[in-house]
Chains A and B, each alone.
Chain A
């Protein structure tokens, strides 16, 4: 409760500074409308059926991309993490692919899968794979030999050690990776909608409002919604993690 109050206090303070900055002419109102105007616009936007469909399109693409990334990265991480030979063999490829900004891949992806929702899903999944992959590999590297030996003297074979010891041990690390990827995926989805011009999505709303008549109040209202969605996702995952992994220092201390 106290945390929510502090968060709200911070937000209110920020909004107040913003309002004052615009009203006193410190920031030109034409480019940055004050929060009161943006909030009014936000109310109007939300009242429109079309805008909610845009938000839904973004959230849906995000969820599919994140699920896809996890479905690829967790098994891949388990293989890389438990087979050093495979890890060494793939290191060069991984280190080459990882730093490529996903927006740079837009033209390529549009050529490959078209400019439908598949494009933003593919790009977001691409970007979201890395944090999950690296956290999974790292978690397996951190697996304590005493713990593995304990499993063995308790009667576990190789397969059981993997499923009953390595997996639960890795779970909080993997979850932290998923949380990091969740933020990355949302950024990539909205960016792709903006840069590649999607049919629906928050990014499309921002693109349309910023071109032509330049409705900065709409741009900022939609941006605010993107921020709120990101905040809600992170908050939800954080709580889920705290509940699922209360036993783990990773969950408690992780970013």
Chain B
């Protein structure tokens, strides 16, 4: 069943297109990774899907309906996590915020926030403030806040870019676990080719700016993934090579970012 449809999407900033003629669909419960050269328009694409920017042309549909405002069942983890947490609120209150604004009762709020924080491995920092935490911990708070509403559609913009390798593996596995348990649909932007293959059910490769779709690669790996086993498998290595090849436009060894 199709959850999200992006059709002929174009978005201009002051006349210059950041994404152009972008068309793809995402089925319910899919985890789709998006990768593309630095500055090609990945964040713009996510913002358009979230209803934060209006498409210059084309459309985004959720459950078949055009997205005009931010859908209620959507969560977003921003690339700039540091600027996305409210410094005047404690960690707990930051995580509770989307629930409070949806009028969820106090007791349930506290319970679900604690659960979400424990889920990302952040127990015992509830009463601290975001700026008292390391970058990686702040990013986990942002992820906990996105998960606390149990969204049907989760958008993540380079969510693991700033955490150390070990934490990154843990968070990747946590994301896949949560995503499968709740059948969440996830759109995740990453500049890490390995991560896109390890996490995704599909990998969308975008061109340089203005971004359009270069490849839509299904990831034929077992649903149960394992950081060491999966990454060592022949299928993984082959897919990784394929994504890397597609990222390079002819005669253009573009850096990925």
Q: Could you tell me which A residues sit within 8 Å of B by CB distance?
A: 144, 146-147, 149-150, 152-156, 160, 165, 168-169, 171, 247-248
Q: Pick the contact of B101 from A149, A156, A168, A171 — CB < 8 Å?
A: A156
11 example contacts (A-B, Cβ-Cβ < 8 A) are as follows A146-B83, A147-B84, A150-B84, A150-B86, A152-B70, A153-B52, A154-B101, A156-B101, A247-B87, A247-B88, A248-B88
Contact of A153 with B70 in the complex, beta carbons under 8 Å: yes
Contact between chains at B86 and A147 (CB < 8 Å): yes
Most B CB contacts (10 A, CB to CB) among A146, A165, A248 go to A146
Bound: A147/B52 CA distance, A = 12
Q: Which residues of B contact A165 (CB under 8 A)?
A: 86
CB-based contact B52/A152 at 8 Å: yes
Q: Is the CB of B74 within 8 A of A153?
A: yes
- Which residue of A149, A154, A248 is within 8 Å of B97 (Cβ)? A154
A155 touches B83 (CB 8 A): no
A144 contacts B83, C-beta separation under 8 Å = yes
Please tell me which one of the listed residues A152, A153, A168 contacts residue B86 in the complex, with CB atoms under 8 A apart.
A168
Contact of A149 (CB < 8 Å), options: B78, B131, B145: B78
Which one of A146, A153, A160, A171 has the highest number of Cβ atoms from chain B below 10 Å of its Cβ?
Answer: A153
Q: Which 9 A-B pairs have the closest CB atoms?
A: A155-B101, A146-B83, A154-B98, A153-B76, A247-B87, A150-B84, A168-B88, A146-B80, A247-B88
Residues B101 and A160 in contact, CB atoms below 8 Å apart = yes
- Judge whether B14 is part of the interface by a CB distance below 8 angstroms: no
A247 adjacent to B76 (CB under 8 Å): no
Please tell me if B72 contacts chain A, counting CB pairs below 8 Å. Answer: yes
Which residues in chain B, 82-102, are within 8 Å of chain A measured between CB atoms?
A: 83-88, 97-98, 101-102
With A150-B78, A169-B88, A171-B88 known, 16 other A-B pairs at CB within 8 A are: A146-B78, A146-B83, A149-B52, A149-B76, A149-B84, A150-B84, A150-B85, A152-B52, A152-B70, A153-B70, A154-B97, A154-B145, A155-B102, A156-B101, A247-B87, A247-B129
Given contacts A153-B74, A154-B97, A154-B101, contact A247 B83 (CB under 8 A): no
Query: Which chain B positions have C-beta within 8 A of A169?
Result: 88
A158 to nearest B CB, angstroms?
Answer: 11
Is B8 positioned at the interface, with any CB of A under 8 Å from its CB?
no
A232 to B88, CA, bound (A): 27
Q: Chain A: interface secondary structure? A: helix
Flag whether B47 is at the interface (Cβ < 8 A): yes
B72 / chain A contacts, CB cutoff of 8 Å: 155
State whether the Cβ of B196 lies closer than 8 Å to any Cβ in chain A.
Answer: no
User: B50 near A: Cβ within 8 Å?
Assistant: yes
A206 to B50, CA, bound (A): 65
User: B4 → chain A, closest Cβ, in Å?
Assistant: 16
Residues of chain B within 8 A (CB-CB) of A160 are: 101
Report the Cα distance A168→B129, complex, angstroms.
15
Query: Contacts of B88 on A, CB cut-off 8 Å?
Result: 168-169, 171, 247-248
Q: Tell me whether B86 and A149 are in contact (CB under 8 A).
A: no
Q: Are the C-beta atoms of A248 and B87 separated by less than 8 Å?
A: yes
Answer yes or no: B75 CB below 8 A from chain A CBs. yes
Alpha-carbon distance A156/B98, docked complex (angstroms): 8
A149 to B50, CA, bound (A): 10
The minimal Cβ–Cβ distance linking B257 to chain A, given in whole angstroms, is 19
Question: Smallest distance from the beta carbon of B91 to chain A beta carbons, Å?
Answer: 12
> Which residues in chain B, 46-89, are within 8 Å of chain A measured between CB atoms?
47, 50, 52, 70, 72, 74-76, 78, 80, 83-88
**For A150, what are the chain B residues with a Cβ–Cβ distance below 8 Å?**
76, 78, 84-86
Known: A153-B70, A153-B76. A146 touches B101 (CB 8 A): no
Please indicate the chain B residues that have their CB under 8 angstroms from the CB of A155 in the complex.
Answer: 70, 72, 98, 101-102
Q: Report B149 CB to chain A, min CB distance, Å.
A: 8
Nearest CB in chain B: distance from A140 CB, A: 16
Query: Shortest CB–CB separation between residue B155 and chain A, in angstroms?
Result: 8
CA–CA, A149 and B81, complex, Å: 12
Q: How far is the CA of A152 from the CA of B86 in the complex (A)?
A: 13
Chain A nearest CB from B207 CB (Å) reads: 25
CA distance A167 to B84 in the complex (A): 16
Residues of A within 8 A of B78 (CB): 146, 149-150
**Residue of B whose beta carbon sits closest to that of A171:** B88
